[in-house]
Structure 1
Amino acid sequence: MIDVQRLRVLRAVAEHGSFNRAAASLRLTPSAVSQQVAALERGLGARVVARSTRGVTLTPAGRIMVGAAESVAAELEHARQQVSALGTGRAQLTLATFTSGGRLLLPAALARLAAAHPHTVLHVREGEPEDALPLVRQGAVDLALAYRFDGPLPAGPAPGTRLEWTPLLDDPLHVVLPREHRLAGRDALDLADLAAEPWVLGCLKTEAYLRRFAERAGFAPDIRGTTTDYFFARSLVAAGVGISLIPSIALAPGIPGLATVPVEPPAPARHIGVATIAGRDRPPVATLIHALREEAARHEGRPGAR
C-alpha cells in the first residue's frame, strides 16, 4: 500500500525542485524528506526522482506518482468539505480568479449563485492561472477562472489528474497609444506598423506573447517598461513612455488622452475559461459555471467588455 504522506512529500519535492526547500515547506528536516522519498521508491521498486548538482527532477515514474498525489489530495479535500457540510448544513465553495476576468464576469455570476444556493459559503481567492490551476488539481479550490494564450493551459495538469476546461470567451489584445499618435485613427493595425515604437506592457506573459507575434512580423520590440498592472501600463502610455498591448477586458476604466485600436487578424488574444476537476458536479459549482457562461455570452464581442 502506498503511504499518502510519502506522496505528499514527493509532491512538495516536485513543486520546489529540492529536498531542502520541500523540507522547509513541510516543516521537516531534509533527512526526513529524503527518507520518505527513499521509502516510496523501495515500495514501488522504481526511482521517482533524479538527483543532480542542479537540484531534483522527477523520473517518468515520479511524474506518474505526482499525478496520483494530486488526485489523492483533491479527493481528500473534497471528502473533508463534504464532512464539514454534514456538520454545519452549509456547503463550501472556493473560487480562484485573475483580477480583470473576475472584475468583468464574477459580480453578476456570484449574485446568481447566492440566489440559487443561499446557504453556500463562498470564498474567493485572487491568483494568476499558473498559481490557481495547481490549487484546483490539489482540491484547495473548487474552480478557477483563468486564461491561456495560444498553447496549453499554464501549469498544466500532471499525469493522472482530470482537469477540465470550460471555455468562456476570447479576449483580444488591443494596441493602446496616445490619441495624437499618427496611427491612432486607424481602424486596425498590423504589428509590423509598430516596429519602430517603444512599448510598455502590463504583465510579463503579455511581453512574451508580444515578442512571439513581433518576431513573426519581422521585428524585436523595444520594451521600455513592464508592470504587473494594466491600468498602470496605460497610465505610462498616457505619459508618453510608449505604446502598449492590452486585453479588451482590461481597457476599463478609460484614461483620457488614449486611443485603442484592434490588431489585424490573426490578432493575439487571451482565451478565458473555467478550470475544474472532471466529475465534480456539485450543484453550486454547476450553477456558477452556468452563470459565468451567461455573463461571458453577454460580453463577448461587445465594446462594453472593454
Structure 2
Amino acid sequence: MIDVQRLRVLRAVAEHGSFNKAAGALLLTPSAVSQHIAALERTLGHPVAVRSTRGAILTEAGRLLVEAAEAISAELDQVRREIDRLTAPRPRLTLATFTSGGRHLLPAALARFVAAHPEVELTVLESEPEAAAPMVRGGAADLALAYHFDGPPPVGPGERPPLDWVPLMEDPLRLVVPRGHRLAGRASLGLAELSAERWVIGCLKTESFLRRYAERAGFELRVAASTTDYFFAQSLVAAGVGISLVPTVSLAPSPEVTVVQLEPPRPTRHIGLLLPRRRRPNPYTQSLTEALTPTAHRTARP
C-alpha cells in the first residue's frame, strides 16, 4: 500500500526539483527525504526520481504518482471540509461573484436558496473570474459566478484540482450611444461603422476585447474615457463624452442614452459557474446552481 506521507514527499521533490529543497520545504533532513523516496520505490517496484547534478528528475512512474497524489490531496481536502461542515454549528456555503453578474443574477436566486435552506450560513465574496478560480480550487469558495469572452471557459485543463464549467447564459455586449446620436435610430449596426467614434471604456477586459474586434473591423480604437464601472461609463455616454460597449446585464435604463444591437460577429460574455470537480457533489452547491438557472434564463435578452 502506498503511504500518503511518502506521496507528499514526492510532490515536494517534483515541485522544488531537488531532494535538498524539498527537505527544506518539508522541514525534514535530506536523508529523511531520500529514505521516504527509497521506501516508496520499494513499495512500487519502480524508480520514481533520478538524482542528477542539476537536482532531481521524476521518472514516468514518478510523474504518474504525482498526478495521483494531487488528486488524492484534493479529495482529502474536500473530505476534511465536509467533516468540518459536519462538526460546525451550521453548514456553510461561500460564493464568489463578479460585480455586474452578482447584481443582476444573485438577488432572486439567493432569496430562493435562503428560503429553501435557512440552516446554511451563506457568504458572498466579490471577485473577478481570474481571482475566483484559484479561490474555488483552494477551497476559499465553494463555487463562483464567472464569465469569459472568446475561447474556452476559464477552467484550465492542466490545473489541479480540476474545475467544471456550468454555462448559465450568453451576455452579448450592446452599443450605448447618447440620445440624439446619429446612430441612435438604428435597430442594429456593424462595428466597422463606428470607426470615427470616440469610446468610453467600462472595463479593462472589455477594452482589450474591443481593440481586437476594432482591429478585425479595420480601425484603431480612440478612447475618450476609461473606467472600471459600466454604470459610470453609461453616465459618461449620457454626458456626450463618447459611446460605449456594455454587457446586457449591466445596462442601466436611462432616457439620456440609446441601446443599439451589434450585428454578428458581436462581442459576447459567456456567464457560468465554476465548480470543483467532485465524486460527491455538495448538495448546497447543486441547490444554488438550480436556483440560478431560471434567473439567468429570464435575465438573458435576445
| TM tier, smaller | 0.7 to 0.9
Corresponding residue of 2:136:
136
Contact 1:176 1:259 in 2 (8 A): yes
Q: Which aligned pairs between 1:31-50 and structure 2 lie closer than 5 A?
A: 35-36=24-25, 45=49
Deviations 1:172-205 (A, max 9, x none): 1011111111111110121111001111111111
Counterpart-to-counterpart distance in 2, 1:161 and 1:135: 12
Corresponding residue of 1:210:
210
Offset of residue 85 of structure 1: 2.3
Contact 1:66 1:158 in 2 (8 A): no
Corresponding residue of 2:161:
161
Q: Secondary structure at the match of 2:188?
A: coil
Corresponding residue of 1:91:
91
Deviations 1:90-149 (A, max 9, x none): 211110001111111111111121122221111111001000011112222111000010
| Distance change in 2, residues 1:232/1:34 (3 Å) | farther
Contact 1:133 1:155 in 2 (8 A): yes
Offset of residue 298 of structure 1: 1.7
RMSD: 3.4
Corresponding residue of 2:127:
127
Counterpart-to-counterpart distance in 1, 2:165 and 2:285: 13
Counterpart-to-counterpart distance in 1, 2:136 and 2:227: 27
Offset of residue 162 of structure 1: 2.4
Q: Secondary structure at the match of 1:119?
A: coil
Corresponding residue of 1:273:
272
Does residue 174 (structure 1) correspond to residue 174 (structure 2)? The answer is yes
Corresponding residue of 1:263:
262
Deviations 1:262-304 (A, max 9, x none): 10112111000011012251211111001111111122226xx
Unaligned runs of 5+ in 2: 1-5, 38-47, 55-59
Contact 1:235 1:255 in 2 (8 A): no
Corresponding residue of 2:297:
297
Counterpart-to-counterpart distance in 2, 1:46 and 1:166: 41
Offset of residue 80 of structure 1: 3.2
Q: Which aligned pairs between 1:54-133 and structure 2 lie closer than 5 A?
A: 71=71, 74-133=74-133
Aligned-pair identity in percent equals: 52
Offset of residue 240 of structure 1: 2.0
Unaligned runs of 5+ in 1: 14-30, 51-59
Q: Secondary structure at the match of 1:186?
A: coil
Amino acid at match of 1:82: E
Q: Highest Rg: 1 or 2?
A: 2
Contact 1:148 1:271 in 2 (8 A): yes
Corresponding residue of 1:223:
223
| Distance change in 2, residues 1:3/1:207 (3 Å) | same
Corresponding residue of 1:241:
241
Offset of residue 89 of structure 1: 4.6
Counterpart-to-counterpart distance in 2, 1:71 and 1:200: 45
Corresponding residue of 1:25:
none
Counterpart-to-counterpart distance in 1, 2:172 and 2:70: 33
| Distance change in 2, residues 1:103/1:218 (3 Å) | same
Counterpart-to-counterpart distance in 2, 1:248 and 1:180: 21
Counterpart-to-counterpart distance in 2, 1:34 and 1:180: 70
Offset of residue 67 of structure 1: 7.3
Corresponding residue of 2:41:
none
Counterpart-to-counterpart distance in 2, 1:66 and 1:126: 33
Counterpart-to-counterpart distance in 1, 2:267 and 2:105: 21
Corresponding residue of 2:8:
3
Q: Which runs of at least 4 in structure 1 moved beyond 6 Å after TM superposition?
A: 31-34, 63-70
TM-score by structure 2 length?
A: 0.78
Offset of residue 156 of structure 1: 2.8
Counterpart-to-counterpart distance in 1, 2:164 and 2:197: 40
Aligned length: 271
Q: Name whichever of 149-158 and 134-143 sits farther off.
A: 149-158
Q: Name whichever of 85-94 and 189-198 sits farther off.
A: 85-94
Q: Secondary structure at the match of 1:80?
A: helix
